[in-house]
Amino acid sequence: MRHLLVLCVLVVTLNITAQNSGIQFHNDTIFENVLAKAKSENKLIFIDCYAVWCGPCKFMDANIFPDKEVGDFHNQNFINLKYDMEQPYGMKIRKQYGIKAYPSYLYLDGNGEVVHRYVGSTATTADFLAISRTATDSEKNFRAVSQRITQGDRRASTINDYLNMNYGAANADTLINEHFKLVNEKEKMSKDTWELIKNHGASFDGAAFSQFRTNQDAYLTTYGAEATNEYLYSVLSKTYSKSPAAYENLKALNPVLFEQHQREINFRKANSAFSKDKTSKEAWNEYILRAGEFISGNSPHPGYINSIARNVVANYATFKDKASVAKAIVWVQTALKSSPDNKDLNSVYAELLKASGRKK
């Protein structure tokens, strides 16, 4: 019994140590107290704006925020907070600071004014640390870049930095159009302008896409098929939801890519229909059909395949559909060839094998 007690104490101690090695978050919802603390300690305020259903938010919680180097930097430089944007206090923060996607990161000064902001999870701790270090850099953070924009700086690199930090900015198209009015043809083909185009120039009626459309072959030669196809795909996605007529007109630019986009649309429609009626065998069959077309034709990211496979596992009890299980096994096996150490894929693979009655 004594040995068991020692073991329990050791486990608790290790857990506390692990928690203390990362970012130490406070839970104060009296914002005046947070502002006063930031001023008294001469620190900025960091807010992790998340939602409980957000997968990338969970990834950050599990893999990035507990890191010791991240924790050391954040605990030294920031008062760290995290708020669920769908709870009452989080909703106030969301409205006040215009949070449009999760996860979002706010970096505020002691007056509650935005110094820096960023949207999206990061693949590595180094990537996240780079964002937080930029927040403390008075020449590179969002406040500094915003001031340059206000003062009329329309360089591609400045606009790109500004929009990277300001997801969903209402003035995005205006800034990009102004850039193209001011620069010569050589500058329009430069690497900085290409970065601006592919990151933020997806509006089908904007100057960025007009430039790309006119010079598609030149961009393809200079920046490669992968980058140009990714950009054109983003244009297709944005145009589809805004103008069906304009969307159809884009088919001629790249028919193969257009077909890939159609497969994704068909899959999303089937997914939406099944989500609305999870007892419908007809909707389930359509979902599996479109999922197979999407996976075989588009070769989506392993994480996407994992999500589809988990849906097969989750609905096996309802439909007892061994055919869909067999298909999902093949999909996951293919994904594992490129990501053999992916824990999520290996886990769902084991569940699929169990459902099928197979061991391998």
Helix axes 156-165, 172-182, angle to 10 degrees: 170
Please say if 8 is a catalytic residue.
no
What's the burial of 74, exposed, middle or buried (CB within 10 Å: 0-12/13-18/19+)? buried
Tokens found for residue 172: 């995005």
The strand order across the sheet containing 44-50 reads 25-26, 78-84, 44-50, 104-108, 114-119
Interatomic CA distance for residues 271 and 299, integer angstroms: 17
How crowded is residue 79: how many other Cβ atoms within 10 Å of its Cβ? 25
CA dist 291 and 68 (Å) reads 40
Contact 168, 101 (CB under 8 A): yes
Instruction: Give the relative orientation of helices 207-214 and 172-182 as an angle to the nearest 10 degrees.
Output: 50
Question: Which tokens is 288 given?
Answer: 């599996």
The active-site residue, picked from 34, 47, 57, 135, is 57
C-alpha–C-alpha distance, residues 79 and 39, integer Å: 10
DSSP 182: H
- Rounded to whole angstroms, how far apart are CA atoms 320 and 336? 25
Kindly state the greatest CA–CA separation across the chain. 80
Give the orientation angle of helix 225-240 with respect to helix 216-223, to 10 degrees. 130
- Which residue of the set 34, 38, 51, 54 is catalytic? 54
From the CA atom positions of the chain, what is the Rg in Å? 24
How far is 281 from 192, CA to CA, in rounded Å? Answer: 51
Question: Which positions are annotated as active-site residues?
Answer: 54, 57
